[in-house]
Amino acid sequence: MCFMMIGCKYIANANPKRFAKIVHPSAVGFVLVGTVLFFSVEMFYMLPRIYDTDGLFFKIAWLMALFIVYNLLGNMLACHRNSSAVTSLPKDRQIPCPEEKHLWHFCDHCQMLVPPRSWHCKVCECCILRRDHHCIFTATCVGHTNYRYFFWFTVYMHIGSLLSLATHVNLLIIDEQIRRQYVVLHFSRFFLFLKPMSCELIALNISFIINIYACILSLIMLGYQIPALYLNTTFYTPKDYRYNQGLLGNFMAFMGKRGLWTFISPSIRSPLPHDGTKWQTKQAPTTF
């Protein structure tokens, strides 16, 4: 994972336009293809082999799967479509008030003053409000406006991949014949790949490998984002605690007025407490 991040950062800094043309479609395609593959294999092949298709649990599983896919792809799309660029602000808010001017800093690339916590992205070619990082899976920068969608996208990716992995394991436990055909469980018998295999078994093996990767990847992503949400920091400034307003204050600053209700759907309107130009800092204790 670290090598992948370092490699992406190196390519992005060396040639941002080429990075966007090559990496963005590949990463977005990975999510879309992986989602379709997981959903198809799990709902049309694995679950009918484990549970009664006329039973209540099977129907509940279908509803849960549709809910997860809707939120996964919906938050992914919303994250991409909601820009956190400084230039997305109204024209009058792109210029600091006289009393705020000393808090803003000058961007050499954009040739303009930008608000606190705003930083330039070479790939997006603009400054981003409370920039967290550039996400290749949503093909955009994650910042003040779209952080909510990125966070829930990551959460649903982990929930979906975890449930899919659990279904895989359940099937392997109860079906010995299929277990013998899982190449990834027999590292010393990779010659199985050379034997004729049905399309179903090939799909199962591939989805199982991608499933493990997606589960680990989303867990690592959450490992960075949960502390950032808890402490009101960013990916690149994990030790800057000046903006920490407590758990509830930080959560509302990231998720907006509706708070935890945003977990239900990306379509829920949840106005943020400010436009990303004014950040309250912790007050130093007064001494007498």
> Per residue in 93-130, pLDDT tens?
999 999 999 999 999 999 999 999 999 999 999 999 99
pLDDT for res 9: 64
> What is the band of 172 on the pLDDT scale with cuts at 50, 70, 90?
confident
pLDDT for res 2: 44
Whether residue 6 has pLDDT greater than 60 = no
Of 87-96, 97-106, 180-189, the least confident: 180-189
Of 11-25, 101-115, 230-244, 269-283, the least confident: 11-25
Of 147-151, 175-179, 231-235, 248-252, the least confident: 175-179
> What is the band of 169 on the pLDDT scale with cuts at 50, 70, 90?
confident
Whether residue 285 has pLDDT greater than 60 = no
The conformation of residue 262, written as its DSSP 8-state character, comes to: G
> What is the band of 288 on the pLDDT scale with cuts at 50, 70, 90?
very low
pLDDT for res 283: 62
CA torsion 123→126→128→131, rounded to 10°? 30
Distances from the Cα of 147 to the Cα of 80, 108, 251, angstroms: 10, 25, 11
Of 23-27, 183-187, 266-270, the least confident: 183-187
> What is the band of 287 on the pLDDT scale with cuts at 50, 70, 90?
very low
Task: Read off the pLDDT of each residue in 197-215 and give the average, rounded to a whole number.
Answer: 80
The conformation of residue 89, written as its DSSP 8-state character, comes to: S
Residue among 107, 100, 139 at smallest CA distance from 12: 139
Task: Read off the pLDDT of each residue in 63-77 and give the average, rounded to a whole number.
Answer: 97
3-class DSSP state for residue 48? helix
Q: Where do runs of H (alpha helix) occur along the chain?
A: 2-14, 16-41, 47-50, 56-81, 147-174, 176-180, 199-231, 246-255
Residue among 285, 286, 287, 283 at smallest CA distance from 245: 283
Whether residue 66 has pLDDT greater than 50 = yes
144 with 118: CB under 8 angstroms? Answer: no
Residues with Cβ within 8 Å of residue 283, at least 6 apart in sequence:
none
Task: Read off the pLDDT of each residue in 196-218 and give the average, rounded to a whole number.
Answer: 81
Whether residue 3 has pLDDT greater than 50 = no
Of 53-62, 176-185, 221-230, the least confident: 176-185
